[in-house]
Structure 1
Amino acid sequence: MAILERTDWTAIAVALGSNLGNCVQHLQQAIAQLAALPSIRRLQVSPVYQTPPVGPPQPDYYNACAIAETCLAPHDLLQQLQAIEAAAGRERLQHWGPRTLDLDLLLYGDRQIQTPDLTVPHPYLTQRAFVLIPLAAIAPDWVEPVTGEAIATLAQRLDSTGIERLGSMEALAESP
């Protein structure tokens, strides 16, 4: 794993989603695992939103976003995210199908990356209200590097029908 020098930290944005099992618990565990990584610091998490699914018929999603800084190279960060998904029982059975946990690397600083296994910014970032709305809650002024527009501006353009703010991760954890 290529760890950058500890003085070389990069801002990142990660989308979190779950629609199978105990969704809040899956999201909480993912956040805890991210926070526990020595290669992650300054982690902030958006409120959680319930959103309609994209793709085949399936339950609604619980979505959130996290921003942080990392000293990992992009592909190494992707491997860490996929390991957290696997620990939550993520199976890749159907494109856009239901899942216990989905972690997507949305932004890696202002870099644009195009490889067979990683595209940053995330290719659907500007088209998905279920990602932009939570991200705008914690990083409204972050400039998306392809469009050159702020996340909040991009979020305002999208239809948010069916997206319901449920509250903070902490508040949901305390709910019966």
Structure 2
Amino acid sequence: MSSSYLVALGSNQRHHSHGFPRDVVRVAMEELAALGKVTARSRVIATDPLGPARRCFANAALVLESEYDPPSLLKGLKQIERTFGRRQGRRWGDRVLDLDIVLWSGGVFAEPLLTIPHPEFRSRDFVLKPANEIAPAWRDPVTGLSVRQLCARV
């Protein structure tokens, strides 16, 4: 049974073969097709650093149709991050690639390593702006608000 996922992508470090963060995000969007069918992609936008990160980010979102359940998809996303050179480090630090499951067609999911909806997405314009381009009618199963409504509040 296939599920739909809204996935957020971000980068603020250059990659040795993919180039600048904007290019890293674009290549990562292609790589995500290994986990299912990409049915929608936002533009890549530039955003200010968050927390201890020092460099500006490139951010985007996509909708992925996948046979994977949420924990399996998370494993796949983490594997893609590692192939791009992502290393575990401090929260919100500089990174080559960050991939997050924001929303899932199955509603709410909660395990120690994964919470859907993403706990902080409602206050992050760098997630909501790209998401609003491709999935404005998707609803947050916790608040009942659409991505469009959440984006208007940020």
Sort the TM-score into its range (normalised by shorter chain). Answer: over 0.9
Check whether the contact 1:110–1:145 (CA below 8 A) recurs between aligned residues. Answer: no
Deviation of the 1:41 alpha carbon: 1.6
d(CA) in 2 for partners of 1:102 and 1:27? 9
Aligned-CA RMSD value? 1.1
d(CA) in 2 for partners of 1:57 and 1:33? 25
Q: Which runs of 4+ in 1 moved over 2 A?
A: none
CA deviations 1:99-143 (Å, max 9, x no partner) are 000000111114211111000000001110110010001000111
| Structure (1 or 2) with the larger CA radius of gyration | 1
Change in CA separation of 1:42 and 1:95 when aligned onto 2, cut-off 3 Å:
closer
2:30 to 22, 29, 32: 32
For normalisation by structure 1, the TM-score amounts to 0.81
In structure 1, the partner of 2:17 is none
d(CA) in 2 for partners of 1:97 and 1:114? 25
2:41 paired with 1:45: yes
Query: Residues 1-176 of structure 1: matches in 2 within 5 Å?
Result: 8-21=1-14, 22-35=20-33, 37=34, 39-158=35-154
Deviation of the 1:59 alpha carbon: 0.5
SS at match of 2:150: helix
d(CA) in 1 for partners of 2:107 and 2:27? 28
d(CA) in 2 for partners of 1:132 and 1:32? 21
Change in CA separation of 1:56 and 1:42 when aligned onto 2, cut-off 3 Å:
closer
d(CA) in 2 for partners of 1:123 and 1:57? 20
The count of residues paired between Structure 1 and Structure 2 equals 149
Q: What 5-or-longer segments of structure 1 have no aligned partner?
A: 1-7, 159-176
For normalisation by structure 2, the TM-score amounts to 0.93
d(CA) in 2 for partners of 1:150 and 1:24? 27
d(CA) in 2 for partners of 1:88 and 1:41? 20
Change in CA separation of 1:42 and 1:28 when aligned onto 2, cut-off 3 Å:
closer
d(CA) in 2 for partners of 1:43 and 1:62? 20
Identity fraction in percent = 37
